[in-house]
Amino acid sequence: MTKKLLFLFDTDPVASVFDTVVGYDGGADNVIGYGGVTTENVGALVDGCIYTRGPKEKQNTAIFVGGGSMVSGEAVFKAVKKRFFSNFRVSVMLDSNGSNTTAAAGVALLAKAANLKGKKAVVLAGTGPVGMRAAAMLNIEGAEVTITARDQARADAAAKAIQERFGFTPKAVEAKDNAARAAAVKGAQVVFSAGAIGVTLLDEADWQNDPTIELLADANAQPPLGIGGLEATDKAKERHGKIVIGALGLGGLKLKLHRECVSKLFESADKVFDCENIYALAKELA
């Protein structure tokens, strides 16, 4: 039997252990990781994937683009797809920094808890991979999206990148400290925290009595959490009259989604998994 081979093209120096484990759990027979992958060196790796098996066997080879940088990941992802032609292609997935699957799990659970159409949503630290993808998925649900960053230039740059990739421009707000972020969520119904590990972006006092906030999600599992007053294990739990989702609460769906995407890569040789269809799958699984 032809073995299912998953090749990890990681833009970081060393291929991700996390992505390797989930690759096996997703059904790959062998996971082969390459670190330091760039647009300059990925071509030969892709050629090895597309020229070695016949048309009926190509579905048993797949590519996963990962690494810590979404910008680098998107560039490599584009270069991989550009190398394909005719039936010389294999299925490919982009999930740099776990951004697509993490954001998809969080937003899907928010959308399951309430209709997001027309709601004002603020993505705290919305310039990182998870934040930018969460902004895009909230827009898919019809929310009015604002992203925050420590400085205006960075917020504007992220908003421009989102517009170029997804065709809409979120409102970009500078929020240097907790007081500014507390001001940024005033009047919002949805808050999604996508900040770095160990940084509290919103204190409990700044949301617990807010009359407009209805839903909160936090992607940071390591204390201190991104949103004060949540527990990492919260999954659509009610706190202070709001529905809250912690990082471990969304983590189960994130892992299930990641595994399911890997499994589907081997269904045919022409699957392409990125933000939109990963999010659609997340909604099905939620």
The 10 Å Cβ neighbour count of residue 130 is 27
As a CATH number, domain 5-94 is 3.40.50.10280
Is-same-fold flag (5-94; 101-250)? yes
pLDDT (0 to 100) of residue 39: 98
pLDDT in tens, 77-99: 999 999 999 999 999 999 999 99
pTM: 0.96
Nearest alpha carbon to residue 164 among 71, 232, 226: 71
pLDDT (0 to 100) of residue 258: 98
Long-range contacts of 51-56 (CB under 8 A, 24+ apart): 51/88, 53/2, 55/87, 55/269
Domain ranges of the chain: 5-94, 101-250
* Chain mean position to CA 275: 7
Q: Which two tokens stand for residue 131?
A: 């934040």
Cα–Cα distances in angstroms (integers) from residue 219 to residues 29, 57, 112, 154, 211, in the given order: 30, 38, 17, 20, 23
- At 198, the pLDDT band (50, 70, 90 cuts) reads confident
* Cα(263)–Cα(99) distance, integer angstroms: 18
**pLDDT of 136 higher than 90:** yes
CATH class held by domain 101-250: alpha beta
Instruction: Name the amino acid, one letter, at 41.
Output: N
